[in-house]
Chain A
Amino acid sequence: MTALLEVEDLKVAYGKIEAVKGISFSVEAGQVVTLIGTNGAGKTTTLRTLSGLLKPLSGKITFDGKPLTGVPAHKIVALGLAHSPEGRHIFPRLTIAENLQLGAFLRKDTAGIEKDIQRAYELFPILGERRKQAAGTLSGGEQQMLAMGRALMSQPKLLMLDEPSMGLSPIMMQKIMATIAELKAQGTTILLVEQNAQAALSLADQGHVMEVGKIVLSGTGQDLLHDESVRKAYLGED
């Protein structure tokens, strides 16, 4: 069986500065794969390239059997790749319900959309309670829930989450991670970028460690959790 997402020798540059220097990895359907690493390692750049917001310098991206390179961002969503961006980027002056509806922008099945909005409210009850409120008034953690709920509204084959725990309180972080675990249990395929390596690796089937634009180490989540160099560099042990 071929992988759902296949990335081969991907290079991305901002002007002359190469941020991603030839990385290859794949995501199988049903898996949770995580990219971990410090700031500036190229994780966000990788996700933004996959969703079409950045154009790669070279390399090949194949999603669900189709090449993604050169496809504009707004058409990539239609193929089943949803991206919950770093910093959440909810639409602050639209209501929570409107944000969720925008997540289903390309869908035509009104009844199905309504059902999925209810499902998002079940997954995140706080969103249901505040559905008529402007999204900009939510707390950081609630905005993260909304961003994830919104990404799920497109019924993606692959959900990409960029730093879902960033800037959250420990309790909120646990909640978000528990939700990701729940999504995994439901069979959602997830590509997770995280600075919280401990949490990400505990969830992940596969993990890749990125350093300055390259993948320096790959393995199962458990392997990496117990890898000595990873423990030193990312899990704060010495």
Chain B
Amino acid sequence: MNTLPQQLANGLLLGSMYGLIAIGYTMVYGIVQLINFAHGEIFMTGAFGALTVYFYILPDGTPMAVAVPLMLIGGGIVAILIAVGAERFAYRPLRGAPRLAPLITAIGLSLALQEVVRNFYPGADRARAFPGLDATHDLGSITIKDADIFLIVSAVVCMAALAYFVRKSRTGRAMQATAQDPDTAQLMGIDTNRIIVIAFAIGGFFAAVAAVAYGLKYGNVDYRMGFLMGLKAFTAAVLGGIGNIYGAMLGGLVLGIAETLASAYIDEIPGMQQLGGQSWANVWAFCLLIIVLLVRPQGLLGERVADRA
């Protein structure tokens, strides 16, 4: 159970989840230089959107093979609407305002979303049961659940689709141009507002995918689930080099693996017996962030600011 290959698999899975959420931070930052601190809560609302589809829309006993895709759509729609709404009504009016104003708005929005879900969603103030995908498979020395397969497959598909979209599509090209030089992008005829909305929408959808995976894997969701996951995903985005979509995924994987290995093995180092276990995982995650930023302030795949013309 606690063999090294199993721990690596656990880390990879956790990291894929961080990476999916980190995409939302990094795309928005890359285009409008805004840290959307409400993104963790967008992840959370995605989970509740999916839960709503399962408990309140689908008939009881719907097979999971049918339910999961519909939950993805439901969660995706909710997360996209909230992400795009936040851009339109909270952040856009503040474009051009001092940096602190949108940051505080993001924190406020994050609290507001938590409180709305806590007060108005039945049972959201406690851990609310989410349908699990718990059937297990033994692959040699590691054991994984169906939920893990869903997570890894959707992470790979989402990332590949995003990479293709950004590099090859006309809108993706416009997105790169807007990220590199928004004024000049407008001179090319690019509607940069539309590009910004698309970035928020993609981030929202990816967060919803991660949220469904989270629910399926851990079996419950609550109104606070976005806080720590959001913080970790933001850490992953910074670790990988904020603004870079490949960095977000890499940062997520590095963070997930490092955190998992640290909590599994660090107590075997003499003198550090008290520092192992899950309760210290966050400490090691943020230590890793600090160390990487000391050596590479731009993050693993980030470009030095001086390189940006």
B198 CB, nearest partner CB in chain A, Å: 14
CB within 8 Å of B: which A86-102 residues: 89-94, 98, 101-102
Q: Which listed residue (B176, B177, B184, B308) contacts A85, Cβ 8 A?
A: B184
Beyond A92-B308, A92-B309, A136-B309, whether A105 also contacts B180 by CB under 8 A is no
CB within 8 Å of A: which B184-202 residues: 184-192
A53 close to chain B: CB less than 8 A: yes
Contact yes or no, B188 A102, CB < 8 A: yes
CB within 8 Å of A: which B42-87 residues: none
Which of A6-14, A72-80, A120-128, A224-232 is the interface stretch? A72-80
Which residues of A sit under 8 angstroms from B192, Cβ to Cβ? 74
Contact yes or no, B184 A94, CB < 8 A: no
Contact yes or no, A92 B183, CB < 8 A: no
In the bound assembly, the distance between CA atoms of A101 and B183 in angstroms comes to: 17
In the bound assembly, the distance between CA atoms of A74 and B309 in angstroms comes to: 22
Contact yes or no, A74 B173, CB < 8 A: no
A55 CB, nearest partner CB in chain B, Å: 12
B268 close to chain A: CB less than 8 A: no
Contact yes or no, B187 A77, CB < 8 A: yes
Contact yes or no, A94 B183, CB < 8 A: no
Which residues of A sit under 8 angstroms from B186, Cβ to Cβ? 52-53, 72-74
B contact residues, range: 20 to 34
A51 close to chain B: CB less than 8 A: yes
Contact yes or no, A91 B177, CB < 8 A: yes
Contact yes or no, B309 A85, CB < 8 A: no
A128 CB, nearest partner CB in chain B, Å: 20
B236 CB, nearest partner CB in chain A, Å: 22
| B contacts with A: majority SS | helix
Beyond A98-B173, A101-B173, whether A91 also contacts B181 by CB under 8 A is yes
B174 close to chain A: CB less than 8 A: yes
Q: Which listed residue (A74, A93, A103, A136) contacts B191, Cβ 8 A?
A: A74
Contact yes or no, A91 B184, CB < 8 A: yes
Contact yes or no, B183 A105, CB < 8 A: no
A136 CB, nearest partner CB in chain B, Å: 6
Contact yes or no, A83 B187, CB < 8 A: yes
A154 close to chain B: CB less than 8 A: yes
A106 close to chain B: CB less than 8 A: yes
Contact yes or no, B180 A77, CB < 8 A: no
A134 CB, nearest partner CB in chain B, Å: 11
Contact yes or no, B173 A85, CB < 8 A: no
Contact yes or no, B180 A73, CB < 8 A: no
Which residues of B sit under 8 angstroms from A51, Cβ to Cβ? 187
Closest residue of chain B to A53 (Cβ to Cβ) is B183
Beyond A53-B187, A74-B190, A74-B191, whether A91 also contacts B174 by CB under 8 A is no
B271 CB, nearest partner CB in chain A, Å: 47
A219 CB, nearest partner CB in chain B, Å: 30
CB within 8 Å of A: which B178-236 residues: 180-181, 183-192
In the bound assembly, the distance between CA atoms of A93 and B308 in angstroms comes to: 9
A105 CB, nearest partner CB in chain B, Å: 5
Q: List 30 A-B contacts (CB under 8 A).
A: A53-B183, A53-B186, A72-B186, A72-B191, A73-B183, A73-B186, A74-B191, A75-B189, A77-B189, A78-B189, A83-B187, A85-B183, A89-B181, A90-B309, A91-B177, A91-B181, A91-B184, A92-B180, A92-B307, A94-B177, A94-B180, A98-B173, A102-B174, A105-B170, A105-B174, A105-B188, A136-B309, A150-B188, A151-B187, A154-B188
Apart from A90-B309, A94-B177, A101-B173, what are 13 other A-B pairs with CB-CB below 8 Å?
A72-B191, A73-B183, A73-B187, A82-B187, A85-B187, A89-B183, A91-B180, A92-B307, A93-B180, A102-B188, A105-B174, A136-B307, A151-B187
